[in-house]
Amino acid sequence: MIEQIVFYMLASVILLSALGVVLLPGLMHSALCLGLCLAGVAGIFASLGSDFIFAAQILVYVGGIAVLILFVVLLAGSASDKVTRQINEAWLPSLLICAAFIWSFLRITAYFAGITAKSAAAPTVKAIAALLLGDYAVPFELISIVLLASMTGAVLFGRRKAQ
């Protein structure tokens, strides 16, 4: 009962703010709605009992990526951003692509919809750590190599610009 109330509240926040990202005039409003949307997703994680993913979502997406997007909007924004329309002529194809994605997601999730967890997830970081640094150590390290490569690339571009 309470779980359902919480879920529907969070889901409406996520959907409305996601619509706001696409439809609101002004880059800044879209970026703020994106932050709210990501925070709502974090709320879903928290209500499912996976507290580490909740904190990581807030830390990385709301406190990191959304803030950096806001930063870019502040740096690169212009006065016309406040009133610029967000929708251009390609709205019909993009809507169709979105519909296709939603349909495929529905097909995928329909397979898992009947399965319910036997018990509530016991939130502990130790289990995640054992998985990340034990069973899945190689993919975990591969991701860090990707991050290192992108960071090196960013430094390289920054240096070339400065010269």
Query: Can you give the binding site for another protein, defined by CB under 8 A?
Result: 2, 28-29, 32, 35, 39, 51-52, 55-56, 58-59, 62-64, 66-68, 70-71, 73-75, 82, 123-125
Q: Which residue lies nearer to another protein by CB, 71 or 101? A: 71
Q: Which residue lies nearer to another protein by CB, 85 or 107? A: 85
Give the C-alpha distances (Å, rounded to integers) separating 38 from 51, 100, 108, 151. 15, 23, 22, 24
Q: Which two tokens stand for residue 41?
A: 């997703």
Q: How far is the CB of 73 from another protein (least distance, A)?
A: 8
- Contact by Cβ (8 Å): 53, 127: no
Q: How far is the CB of 26 from another protein (least distance, A)?
A: 8
Q: Which residue lies nearer to another protein by CB, 13 or 56? A: 56
Give the C-alpha distances (Å, rounded to integers) separating 62 from 15, 51, 91, 133. 17, 15, 27, 26
Residue 40 CB contacts under 8 Å (≥ 6 apart), including other chains: 10, 11, 13, 14, 17
Q: How far is the CB of 11 from another protein (least distance, A)?
A: 21
In angstroms, the CA 92 to CA 145 distance is: 39
Q: Which residue lies nearer to another protein by CB, 18 or 28? A: 28
Q: How far is the CB of 126 from another protein (least distance, A)?
A: 9
